[in-house]
Amino acid sequence: MNCKNIIVSALSLMAVVPTASFAAFSTDDYVEAAWMTTRFFGAQRSGSGPNWILDGTNYTKSFTKDSYDGKDVSGGWFDCGDHVMYGQSQGYASYILALSYAEFTQGFYDLYTGDYTDYKESRDYTRKGGKSNGVRDLLEELRYEADFWTKAAISSSKFVTVKGDGNADHTKWVTAGKMSTLGSGEGGEPRSITGNANDAFTPGLAAAMLAVMARVDPDESNQKKYLEAAKTAYSYSKSHKGVTNSSGFYESSWWDGRWQDGPFLAALELYRTTKDSSYMKDADEWYFKLEYNLGSTTRLNYSNVIPLSVVMAEGVFHWAPQGGQIYEAEGYLKKLYSENMKNGVFMGETGGGGKFPVRTPAGGAFLYALYSKFYQTSEYDDMIEKNVAYLLGDNNDKKSYVVGFTKGNAKAPTKPHHRGYYGNENPDCDVNCAGSAPEKNKLLGGMIAGDFTSGSHNGSTAQWNVNEVCVDMNAPLVGALGYLLSKKAPVKMEGEEEEKEEKKDTIDVVPVVAKVAGINLVQNGSSITLSGMGPSAFDVQVFDLSGKMVQQFKGLQGTSTLMLNKKGVLQVRVISAKSRHTFMVKSL
């Protein structure tokens, strides 16, 4: 059931007329950036591959012997410029990319084959050397990762969250293929596998990614296996807590208790895919436990998925957070991003080396893109594009933060902290003696951690805090680029169904008198009276059918009568410290 041919050919894209693009970039430049940043994930492939960056080396496969409890768990993406697989950030990246594909499908093109044989045959690893094969490129990259997660989800009591040891891995500066041949003490095989961590976050995000793939992959056999694995991963997530601790690399304390987003997003996506109301009930329970306030002052990143959860809950279920001062997704994003802009660029939590500042504009652009899709608004499009363009080099220093992207006279980084990029297979050569990269690798497409305080790029490969490239940093940028291209130059492929608006959660309109879980609701025209909550305080949030909150009442107690100031069908969400329920009423 794979799609056949692309209606707009890769060649015709070269002639696309830019529409309201920023001065530095044409629409075709954004196509180039999306191609590069998407293909970067192909350079992160572990296992039997294929991995395009290993083409031409002596060892084109890596870590094919990864196993846990006798089960093959090879594959997946390397975390950053190393060869460890950290599921904490990988789950985050894979879900964001799958979600981006689902929501901005027509912004992702078919410019190369997923096995990269087109580049080998043409001996040209630029965009011109690729060939379309009827499958969007991002889908092919996602399938590789989804196939790994199906292996990782062994059972409800066994789930692989980490492969490899960071300390051993970092002793040698060689390609993944070569490292696989070294001893375990030098990062080679066999390597340690973590398959029973007390972790709900990682398997939750993996389950969310798999649930999306079960919904969007046109291959029916893939749909079936991804859904089954999603349910297994979610089952593991539900019976565990917290996040895997990988000392010195991913400390569980970095999450600051924000791990419930994993199972929440898993339940949400499983509901979207299956329409099984039990998953919506689970999502409701998880959402009530999210640490909204702890996530409201920290940008979107692998250890703070609260902002994404807020957008998804409102976009899918019309839910808004309980507690604190921010109730709507738009307000949440404003506090995190648009209130912290400098010349239109999101600058909260940015700065010099070690701050990984690129995460702020990339994450903000992605979240606003997602919000815009749910509400079918173009209000934030210029802001989204401004932040993407900034990362691609439309800034005072003309610094592109994407390795190989030099459009609009942008100066790209040339010394990324990435072992495969240099193609070195000499274990005696350290990070400082790897030399220049092979020509084909110079279009790596990875976005470096960056430095927003310097006018030029750092030229030291060893400076990982500036030159590191990671899957978690690329994912939101790919998503934001997909959104822009879905608006500027959308591409429909033959065999694809027309995009259908997702049916939102529906709840029957309650009668004039209703009682659910001890909560009594009596309606009289435009007023409602709530009782049965006991002495504890409770809040009420009222939403219209577009998902916008139109009223809120805080700190109510006992029996309360409220006037609804909007006519029509409304959602009334009653929230206390111990319970919550949503009524659907018709205000007269």
Helical pair 27-39 and 471-488, crossing angle rounded to 10 deg: 150
For 440, what's the count of Cα atoms within 13 Å in the CB-facing half-sphere?
21
**Closest-CA residue to 210 (of 243, 232, 194, 240):** 232
**Closest-CA residue to 264 (of 195, 312, 212):** 312
**Closest-CA residue to 365 (of 394, 395, 397, 333):** 333
Phi and psi torsions of 71, nearest 5°: -100, 140
How many whole angstroms separate alpha carbon 32 and alpha carbon 26?
A: 10
Please give the C-alpha separations between residue 149 and each of 76, 209, 212, 233, 234, in angstroms, as whole numbers: 7, 9, 13, 9, 12
How many whole angstroms separate alpha carbon 68 and alpha carbon 488?
A: 46
How many whole angstroms separate alpha carbon 53 and alpha carbon 174?
A: 13
Type of residue numbered 431: V
Separation of first and last alpha carbons in the chain: 49
- Asked if residues 385 and 362 have their Cβ atoms less than 8 Å apart, the reply is no
Residue 569 β-bridge partners: 586
Using the structure block, give the residue that is written with the tokens 């029957």: 508
**Closest-CA residue to 388 (of 475, 470, 481, 488):** 481
Question: What's the distance, CA 192 to chain centroid?
Answer: 27
In angstroms and rounded to an integer, the radius of gyration of the C-alpha atoms of the chain is 24
How many whole angstroms separate alpha carbon 125 and alpha carbon 410?
A: 20
Residue 277's H or E segment, with its range, is: helix 277-287
How many whole angstroms separate alpha carbon 410 and alpha carbon 272?
A: 41
170: left (phi over 0), alpha (psi -120 to 50) or beta: alpha
How many whole angstroms separate alpha carbon 383 and alpha carbon 394?
A: 13
How many whole angstroms separate alpha carbon 448 and alpha carbon 526?
A: 55
Candidates 83, 240, 417, 418; catalytic one: 417
How many whole angstroms separate alpha carbon 328 and alpha carbon 334?
A: 10
Please give the C-alpha separations between residue 145 and each of 47, 152, 155, in angstroms, as whole numbers: 11, 11, 18
Residue 250 β-bridge partners: 246
The conformation of residue 380, written as its DSSP 8-state character, comes to T
Candidates 29, 82, 472, 539; catalytic one: 82
Phi and psi torsions of 412, nearest 5°: -90, 150
The conformation of residue 365, written as its DSSP 8-state character, comes to H
Angle at CA of residue 117, ends 112 and 121, nearest 5°: 105
**Is residue 55 among the annotated active site residues?**
no
Please give the C-alpha separations between residue 167 and each of 45, 249, 299, 388, 421, in angstroms, as whole numbers: 20, 9, 28, 34, 20
**Closest-CA residue to 370 (of 95, 137, 140):** 95
Token pair, residue 210, equals: 């798999």
Using the structure block, give the residue that is written with the tokens 């041919």: 5
**Is residue 417 among the annotated active site residues?**
yes
Residue 428 β-bridge partners: none
Active centre residues (catalytic): 82, 417
